A and B are shown apart, each in its own frame.
Chain A
Amino acid sequence: MNKPILEKLAIVLSLVVVVVAMLFWVAQVGDVMETLCLAYGDWCFTEDP
């Protein structure tokens, strides 16, 4: 494949990766927080202000 096509592919795929990864981790954020909390302490269940 020649360079201009590779450059365009790289830009498009990179943007897709950034968007998909952001959506993936945003969708996981609840599970991530809860699991970290269960694994490393109960800090996210505290009711203190």
Chain B
Amino acid sequence: MDLLFIFEWLDTSILADMSKAYGGVFAVVQMVHLVALAMLGGTVLVSDLRLLGVLLSDVSSESVVNNMDRWFSVALIVIALSGVFMSSAVAIKLYYNEMFWAKMIGLFFGAAFVYFIRRPLLRHPHDTINVWSLRLIAISSMIIWFTVAASGRWIGFS
């Protein structure tokens, strides 16, 4: 499916006009995007390292995961909204950028993994879940979000 028309529309939208005309606005939105990415990374690390038993072992993993899940969703929404604004400035360039697509695939797969597999499974008491499921979920979650963040950084290099 060719998605070029979406990027062409974005490139001529009012968002693109704003992001291209006002460098200051773009910079502030970029800062918000990066802060949200750091927040998302923090929630992923805290909850996954707790599942692996590396940190906060004196607090129940259910409590840690539930608290982090809330902030994860907030960070993901902020990342998505600020990301659309930022991408409007260079929409056509991004369409032809391999790393952008690597990031998008990672982002969509990661979000689907969190909301359709990880959360429904972790709603059960953790001590009733196969320990290897918990460990693999934690490891793959960190790998997915590292790939999203690193390929996002890579867009800036390419």
Indicate the size class of the contact surface on chain B: 20 to 34
Binary per-residue interface labels of chain A (1-26) against chain B in the complex, 1 for a CB within 8 Å, 0 otherwise:
10100110111011101100100110
Question: Is there contact, CB below 8 Å, between A10 and B118?
Answer: yes
Question: Is there contact, CB below 8 Å, between A35 and B157?
Answer: yes
Q: Is B90 an interface residue (CB 8 A)?
A: no
B129 surroundings in chain A (CB, below 8 A): 3, 7
Question: Is there contact, CB below 8 Å, between B157 and A39?
Answer: yes
B132 surroundings in chain A (CB, below 8 A): 11
Indicate the size class of the contact surface on chain A: 10 to 19
Known: A3-B121, A10-B117. A15 touches B136 (CB 8 A): yes
Question: Is there contact, CB below 8 Å, between A6 and B121?
Answer: yes
Question: Is there contact, CB below 8 Å, between B117 and A6?
Answer: yes
A13 surroundings in chain B (CB, below 8 A): 113, 117, 140
Closest 9 CB pairs of A and B: A14-B136, A14-B140, A17-B140, A6-B121, A7-B133, A21-B143, A35-B157, A10-B133, A7-B130
